[in-house]
Structure 1
């Protein structure tokens, strides 16, 4: 189960859907209020996003290994804390404990909705996308990330997601998430950063930390082959795939 970042959609997992589907059943969502998903009637809050993901997992037959990128990682961690029976393992990529760990980050996150409203999705995406990748990212990838973001974000969904991030500090939750967890971060991630991923891994009882060379904040898109190799290794460890058991 793949959960995308705050400025993205299921399209961000094209490489995972294509590659990992040879060894597992892979599902990627458009979060409520994003891309092809309808707008919720009210702000879901972090628990609402986590519970929606839990329902999707139940509908598809039980436990899942959950990949969460950035905001998706925050949702994945809350999902594992609220619904431990549904989560067999985690890959938390370029994520954080939430922007509520720092007042400045929280304020910056809350400003994003106004920026989106003022500039429109295309201009908003064009300004943000390059920051999500490493300095050496090819122009084609920058354009692809920009297109995905522009096609995915809208109000009020983006504003609700940003407020969720601003209000969240998952630090108290992490010690009770007792599943195998791979915490992965691109070496050039300047959005959430290596140190934050290290903190998450250190607080998770079964957390392992990996730096992915040559990647920025969107490691699964910038270095998909290496990212997918790590996911396969994690699936092998958790024995979700019968031939790896």
Structure 2
């Protein structure tokens, strides 16, 4: 992939950044969220790495794209963020962000030092019913508006026993993050995605995580990813739903840092307080 390939009509994206040393960790949120989803990672992992979390094009504080974007376009936009910071990045993607991270690793292997995929799937395009359901989400958002849409979907993203304050934060983040047309472009990118054939070509080492109570993509979705990748570890995060990085941040961060210790060669003594 040529270094000058950029997503069409994406002039800028908003990012949150923390940390001033160590490897670059680029965080790509799920389809109903924003950079706010990575508050626990920005707060904790930034002691060991430079953490960058985006608002995807058309989400939260990022401008709306001028034309529809495909999964390739989202991946190319993420690639531009890495290039702007020099070198390569470890890419952490949650749910839809995991699909983007994997496509990024295929299209721009020189920019991806490793991939961390959490509570994701091989794409809704693997099943006609799933694809239709994903496309219907944009219509639902238009009909309900962001707040009602978030209140309907948010509680399913965590385990049934999740604290009420966490559920409120997730609903509030979704309501403040999603809007059309960006959400519709994201939904179509996922509805069209079938990553099964390309996963074996991912050269970067990977970590695949999934909450043991994920009611959205489920453990089987993460297993399908892990089983197709050549250099991978698969982890079940206890007492977590679809948003394991938010519901069990200490456990999630410990696994991410263990992965970075191996792939980015962070000295073990630097991580002793966390692991």
Deviations 1:32-72 (A, max 9, x none): 00000001111110110000000000101120000000000
Q: Is the 8 A contact 1:188 1:217 kept in 2?
A: yes
Gaps of 5+ in 1: none
Q: Does 1:193 align with 2:211?
A: no
- Partner of residue 222, structure 1: 247
Q: 1:171 is paired with a residue of what secondary structure?
A: coil
Matched ranges for 1:147-226 at <5 A? 147-226=172-251
- Partner of residue 137, structure 1: 162
Q: Is the 8 A contact 1:71 1:165 kept in 2?
A: yes
Q: Is the 8 A contact 1:4 1:69 kept in 2?
A: yes
- Which one has the bigger helix percentage? 1
* Deviation at residue 179 of structure 1 after TM alignment: 1.3
TM-score, normalization: structure 2? Answer: 0.87
TM-score, normalization: structure 1? Answer: 0.98
Q: Is the 8 A contact 1:183 1:210 kept in 2?
A: yes
- Partner of residue 15, structure 2: none
Q: 2:233 is paired with a residue of what secondary structure?
A: strand
Q: Is the 8 A contact 1:214 1:223 kept in 2?
A: yes
Counterpart Cα distance in 2 of 1:86 and 1:244:
27
Q: Does 1:22 align with 2:47?
A: yes
Number of residue equivalences: 245
Q: 1:227 is paired with a residue of what secondary structure?
A: helix
Q: Pick 1 or 2: higher relative contact order, CA cutoff 8 A, min separation 6.
A: 1
Q: 1:92 is paired with a residue of what secondary structure?
A: strand
Gaps of 5+ in 2: 1-25, 271-275
Please give the root-mean-square deviation of Cα atoms over the aligned residues, in Å.
1.1
Counterpart Cα distance in 2 of 1:54 and 1:207:
22
Counterpart Cα distance in 2 of 1:194 and 1:228:
19
Q: Is the 8 A contact 1:24 1:241 kept in 2?
A: no
Deviations 1:123-163 (A, max 9, x none): 00001000000010000000000000000000000001001
